Amino acid sequence: MKYSHPTQALPLLSSLPFVLVIGLVSSLSLTGCEEFLEGVVHEVEFPEHEPALAVTLTIDEDAQILRLMVSKTAGVLDPQGSEVLSDVFANLEANGTSWLSLDADDFNGDLHSLALDAPVHLAGMPLRLEVEAEGLDSVSAESTMPEKPVALAELELAVDSVLDPWWEEFMARDRITVDIEGQNGVADWFILELQSRFLDPEWGDTATWWTEYMEGPPDPRVNTLHTGEILVSDQGLGDGDLNQLTFFKNNIDPDWGYPEMEWRLSISALSESSANYLLSMEAYDQADGNPFAEPVVVYSNISSGFGHFGLRNSVMIELE
């Protein structure tokens, strides 16, 4: 009688698990392909959005019209988006006393507006804004009107020239020098805007003031915003006057001669909330479209809601 040694069946037995593994993998692969072709849905629930009031109001002490925007926030899945509200009640207090209010009668289709009979002197006063709307939590904000700027400015025509890369011609450069008094113990923030208009109708419209673009050498006190506005501050750089702020603007070719122009410089002192809002909006716009930029949270000083309540006090300096 012949006996078969157990090890003689080992090659067959050792190959069997491999075949079974191949079959199992193929089966799983086919199942996965079928699920892929049929589509596998993973549901991710967005947190339910709680609507809140969004309020925007900026007050200039010399303003003739007050403009208030009030809307109701919406979630990312809301197809209609944020809704502008007309039926609201807004109350403004100055130094703890009721100053004025706006309601549905002041709505013009886009926002609430109210004409002011005369400029109100609010410099140094704390202001408080409260806004109510049915079905939503009321919101509030507080800020203090800055003092009117005390400043000197000088315009010097054609101090040098520069080659304009667009026109490939030399353009004269005018220099504007500005000195602004600072407040001790307070961070100062200012917006500068250069304006001009023609005096001779042969050159252009003599009634309209135009905003002029100006730029300056590197200065840690100066921040040029994407809107063209120039934000100036002593924040973090000591506490004192902001002297010898220097800016240049291009003019026409000196060989053409200079048209008769009238020049002025608007200087607006900002509340700190207004400055923070402008800086956050600048960061937000700089990050727009950049997939590697960190998310930017736009500054808001509206309690229990969103938006911005800002104050500014302006002075206009005629340049000769």
Q: pTM for the whole thing?
A: 0.79
Question: What is residue 11's predicted lDDT score, i.e. its pLDDT?
Answer: 44
Tens-level pLDDT at each residue, the chain (320 residues):
444 444 444 443 344 454 444 444 455 454 555 555 555 666 667 678 889 999 999 999 888 899 999 999 988 777 788 899 999 999 999 999 999 999 999 999 999 999 987 667 899 999 999 999 999 999 999 999 999 999 999 999 888 877 766 666 677 889 999 999 988 777 899 999 999 999 888 888 899 999 988 998 999 999 998 888 899 998 766 667 899 999 998 876 555 566 788 999 999 999 999 999 999 999 998 888 888 888 888 999 999 899 999 999 999 999 97
Measure Cα distances from 55 to 68, 203, 313 in Å. Answer: 7, 43, 21
Contacts 24+ apart (CB under 8 A), 116-121: 116/63, 116/64, 116/65, 116/66, 119/61, 119/62, 119/63, 119/64, 120/61, 120/94, 121/61
Domains of the chain with bracketed CATH: 53-144 (2.60.40), 151-270 (2.60.40)
